[in-house]
Amino acid sequence: MTRYLCHDEPQLLDFDAQALDSRENAVLLSRSAFHPGGGGQLHDRGVLDWAGGSGQVVGIELQEGGLAWHYLDHSACPPGTQVRAQIDREFRWLMCQLHTDLHILNALVFQRFDGALVTGAQIAADGTARHDFDLPQVDNARLKALEADLNDIIANGLEVRTYYVPLEQVTHEAGLIRSKSVAPPPTPDGKIRIVEIVGLDRQACGGTHLSNTRQSRPVRILKVDNKGRQNRRVYIGLQPT
């Protein structure tokens, strides 16, 4: 994992770059503020413009050293071309809201159900998301009842901040890694990115987030499903404005 530009400059949604290389329907940029996706979050959407052409970004493939191929909906520009990139602001904002809301849900489940770990997550483009938890003996109605507390935390306006800590700290401090099977990879200097909702929760994460919980619309817990003997899947959705 590298330190993504979207982590260090989350407000950077329009930027200039150079095409270092190209292949059919893809261009390798000298810099990028697009989030590449991962951990259940979808990659950023947007547009690349250059002299004589433009294309919609439909996929991102990370390379070693922090560079990324940006796949387009048609042929890409040649190497050496100056490119103007525009990230889809509304889609990024949607991902930030839902990812932050999943962290709130995660915190509530972790605190109230004896440190239950995450077994899966997915954010959708339709304003919904889901979290899977290792909860073999829990009444689903108890999970559905978390909706009121979830929305109270959103309304309370808790600060959301990010920082990096040494890998050793993450390894030895219980609760920073919430997934039962995977963990965010460290940066080249051996650190892990932490997302903290101040006064509520801290956990390792590589996604994009709000800076304050109040920036999210209220949410509903849409349903809770049993997925096998161990897993409970909780679906949330942003309420209409």
Residue with tokens 């999943």: 102
Mean pLDDT score, 200-225: 97
Q: Is the pLDDT of residue 1 over 80?
A: no
Q: What pLDDT was estimated at residue 3?
A: 67
The domain that contains 183 carries what CATH number? 3.30.980.10
Contact between 209 and 102 under an 8 Å Cβ cutoff? The reply is: no
pLDDT (mean) for 220-238: 95
- On the question of pLDDT at 140 being above 60, the answer is yes
The verdict on 206 and 161 lying in the same domain is yes
What pLDDT is stored for residue 229 in this prediction?
Answer: 83
* pLDDT (average), residues 40-58: 96
- For residue 144, which amino acid is it? K
Mean of pLDDT values over 216-227:
97
Asked if 179 and 232 sit in the same domain, the reply is: yes
Residue from 158, 159, 176 nearest 167 by CA: 176
Residue where a domain stops, chosen among 87, 108, 135? 87
3-state SS assignment for residue 211: coil
More confident residue, 75 or 64: 75
Task: Note the pLDDT of residue 85.
Answer: 98
Query: Residue 146 belongs to what domain range?
Result: 92-238
pLDDT band, residue 4 (cuts 50/70/90)? confident
What is the rounded average pLDDT of the residues 95-118? 97
| pTM greater than 0.85 | yes
Domain-terminating residue out of 87, 114, 146: 87
194 pLDDT more than 80: yes
Q: What is the predicted pLDDT for the residue at 2?
A: 54
Average pLDDT taken over every residue of the chain: 94
Please indicate, yes or no, whether residues 153 and 132 belong to a single structural domain of this protein.
Answer: yes
Whole-number Å distance between alpha carbons of 215 and 197? 13
Mean pLDDT, rounded, for 41-61: 97
Indicate whether 70 and 98 sit together in one domain.
no
Domain count, the chain: 2
Q: What is the pLDDT of residues 75-94, one digit of tens each?
A: 899 999 999 999 999 999 99
* Mean pLDDT, rounded, for 229-239: 95
Q: Do 165 and 182 belong together in one domain?
A: yes
Q: Among the three residues 55, 87, 119, which one is the final residue of a domain in this structure?
A: 87
Render 23-55 in DSSP notation, one character per residue. Answer: ETTEEEES-------BTTBPPP-EEEEETTEEE
Residue 167 sits in the same domain as residue 150 = yes
